[in-house]
Amino acid sequence: MPSAALLAASCIPPMKELSRLVQRTFHVTPREEDFRTIALGASGRTIVRIGLGARHCLGILWGDDSADNDYLITTESHMRANGVNVPEIYDYEPLGPGCGAALAEDLGDDNLLSFRSESWEKLRSRYIRAMEQLRLLHECPFPENFSFQPSFDESLYRWEQEYFAEHLLGTHLGLSADGFLNHPALRKMAQFLAGLPLCPVHRDSQSQNVHVHAGKTWLIDFQGMRGGRPEYDLASLVFDGYAHLEAEQTDELLREWEHLTGHALDRDIFRACALQRLMQMLGAYANIGHNKGKTWYLEQIPAGLAHLRRLLPSSMLAEPLAGMLE
């Protein structure tokens, strides 16, 4: 079975599979000109907008080059059943181990990042609605009839640290990361976070994965959902490398989170989660930018590093990392 990259390189196989799903679901036969490929991020999926007269939907295909994608279908139905706004999956067809095709609700092109030029008063309200959806996600029960992706544990936190060291410190900054990785503070932080209670988390709740459509706020790209800490998702949102929120705006959103959840934010847990998320995010930017040819991601690194530097003083990672980022 071809990977997503090979599927994307040829329009015929994707159109054939998606045409069959459209006929089965909507009882119409789409024309070749009804398909328009959308370039979206680094998900490893081919995403096509399909026009069907007065209505439209998204066609999604994925190959076996990303294990995350297999979780898309079951996770969607679980979240919808528990009141989280996510796009409906109309139909789905497995295409072999790790590969599949689906038709999904089209939420349009407006995500949270699209509104970054709005006044802070308006944008703040949009972020609050996004946090409301994250709170609903965190309150979902763990499913009984299927499993999310493996939960955060010490080994996954350590993997994120190694990912950051390899791609951001090594490839992007040209630094030797051995001393950083061997510092006991990293294992201490991973063990600290791994010892905390878990709830379902999105894992990538940044501005481009929060859509605004039909007067509602929606979450997309949730196939990485797993057990983790809610503070990780909160950090993903407010320390987003794309959105460039000011420190005062971030602090205001953290106070709004406390109001939404009804309890004070544990700043030690939040800081540790934020450091972990920023390491994962910066590692991804460097990896995708340098190794996958998507250089736009490299342009987001300075903003992510600024967030990281802001959090370092008095943190667990101040000693092993601050000097490397001067």
| 49 and 181 belong to one structural domain | no
Whole-structure pTM value: 0.92
CA 228 to CA 251: how far, in whole Å?
A: 23
Structure confidence at residue 235 (pLDDT): 98
User: Domain end: 86, 104, 122, which one?
Assistant: 104
Structure confidence at residue 11 (pLDDT): 38
| 20 and 43 belong to one structural domain | yes
| 223 and 291 belong to one structural domain | yes
User: Domain end: 104, 136, 161, which one?
Assistant: 104
| 133 and 279 belong to one structural domain | yes
Check the CA dihedral 100-106-109-112 and report its sign: negative
**10-residue block means of pLDDT along the chain (326 residues)?**
38 71 93 84 78 90 73 91 97 85 95 96 98 98 92 98 98 95 97 98 97 97 95 98 95 98 97 98 97 93 96 95 90
Structure confidence at residue 39 (pLDDT): 64
Structure confidence at residue 94 (pLDDT): 87
| 191 and 68 belong to one structural domain | no
Which tens digits make up the pLDDT trace of 148-189?
999 999 999 999 999 999 999 999 999 999 999 999 999 999
Q: What tokens appear for 264 in the block?
A: 């004070």
Domain count across the chain:
2
Residues with Cβ within 8 Å of residue 119, at least 6 apart in sequence = none
Beta strands in the chain (DSSP E): 35-38, 45-52, 55-62, 89-96, 99-104, 199-201, 210-213, 216-219, 226-228
Structure confidence at residue 63 (pLDDT): 78
| 87 and 170 belong to one structural domain | no
Structure confidence at residue 326 (pLDDT): 82
| DSSP assigned state of 82 | T
Contact 21, 91 (CB under 8 A): yes
| 49 and 169 belong to one structural domain | no
Structure confidence at residue 1 (pLDDT): 34
| 137 and 274 belong to one structural domain | yes
| 92 and 133 belong to one structural domain | no
| 180 and 275 belong to one structural domain | yes
| 44 and 166 belong to one structural domain | no
Q: Which of 190, 203, 194, 204 is nearest to 161 (CA)?
A: 190
Range of the domain at 258: 112-325
CA 323 to CA 326: how far, in whole Å?
A: 5
For residue 100, what is the domain's CATH number? Answer: 3.30.200.20
| 269 and 225 belong to one structural domain | yes
For residue 146, what is the domain's CATH number? Answer: 3.90.1200.10
